[in-house]
Structure 1
């Protein structure tokens, strides 16, 4: 583990310098690997990375360990650290998914992600209709209200939409569905920007309200159906952007 030096900023916040350096290295190396920077060259040793980036060996060692845990790297005897092929990467890791979405081929990844959502979120909505607690219903409604506020310019469109969908995953009372929250939140940031740009408008508030109302009413089948319709619309936009393009979209 890299040693973290504590530094107190003028505003009083305490920062762990070693940890910040490690995550900075993680970000640089992870993005470089995913975008193909090391496809035609040998991955550097920890000593070489330390020299190249002006950090300590302990920082590079920790970053390499973290990238290995994400499936991007592997250490082989007498060969050293090598980049793993794409199928070995952990696509459910929020960092890996974010780096992948930054690649030029992100539209294809968004299509696959939307297909995954179609398999997960309608059932999550149905479970939420059956098992949501009062606090969960308030969180879902709060997400919808934030989307409404975003339409008036008093909230962030992306954050509000993500809050709505994450609240539904949590409302399932199923720990496996809840685990998808980071993946959904990460990918939705790109997906929402893409679909909103194509359509020339934000997500449909009435469609989201129908999902919320079905969950509040405890109607699992209606919740499943309305969520499926909402995500199918997103998938259609990703797969056929020209037909979904709004005349005034830029």
Structure 2
């Protein structure tokens, strides 16, 4: 078997086991099947199984020790900023309480990112934000993907903030927007803020109005949190 095939099998097994752990198929604190049993159960090589176990350990989902076997760790140990872990949580039918937590983190990050973008954005970065704004307008007409357009807009602003830690939040933002858009539209019955709101944010950033850029996003996320709280 080629290295690429082994890698694919490892990724598939990691995904399958990760989803199962997040869904509670393997209870916290209890033992999981051994590598040898997993190897037979999923019909993959021992090396692929071993690598999958290592990956899940690195993500904080399990511990694997000689003579003690594989055990599922409590959620407090999981790396919730890992893009795989986030996607597995999203697949496990996220609740409004999870949406609240996502939105709380967004409220802690995004207004400050807007303010820093208003202060630090280069002409090239402003152009990238403007292009993302155009995509949002296109998405409203059904000519682009709504989720991708919103992610592109927000990630362009995180890049423009100039803060290397904010830039690292791009995968988290992608996951947060996925769950936010899904719940705002389907559960809360609220559509995403329209292109005019994003245009106002862009104008504030372009004009260097840090206070307005901050306030626009802080207000919209505060409203979103209030709505979520009212439904919990």
CA RMSD of aligned residues (A): 1.7
Larger relative contact order (Cα-Cα within 8 Å, sequence gap ≥ 6): 2
Aligned counterpart in structure 1 of residue 6 of structure 2, from 13, 18, 22: 18
Give the TM-score normalised by structure 2: 0.93
> What CA distance in whole angstroms lies between the structure 2 residues aligned with 1:182 and 1:4?
30
Superposition pairs of residues 62-211 of structure 1, within 5 angstroms:
62-197=51-186, 198-211=188-201
Query: For the Cα contact (< 8 Å) 1:147–1:161, is it kept in 2?
Result: yes
Show the counterpart of 1:234.
Answer: 224
Q: Contact 2:94 / 2:179 at 8 angstroms: preserved in 1?
A: no
Alignment: residue pair count:
230
State the match for 1:32 in structure 2: 20
Structure 2 residue runs of 5 or longer lacking an equivalent are none
Report the TM-score when normalising by structure 1.
0.87
Q: How many angstroms does 1:26 deviate by?
A: 1.0
Runs of 4+ in 1 over 3 A off after TM superposition: none
Aligned-partner Cα distance in 2 for 1:63–1:37? 17
Deviation at 1:236, TM superposition (A): 2.7
Q: Distance in 1 between matches of 2:125 and 2:19?
A: 35
The residue number in structure 2 matching 1:219 is 209
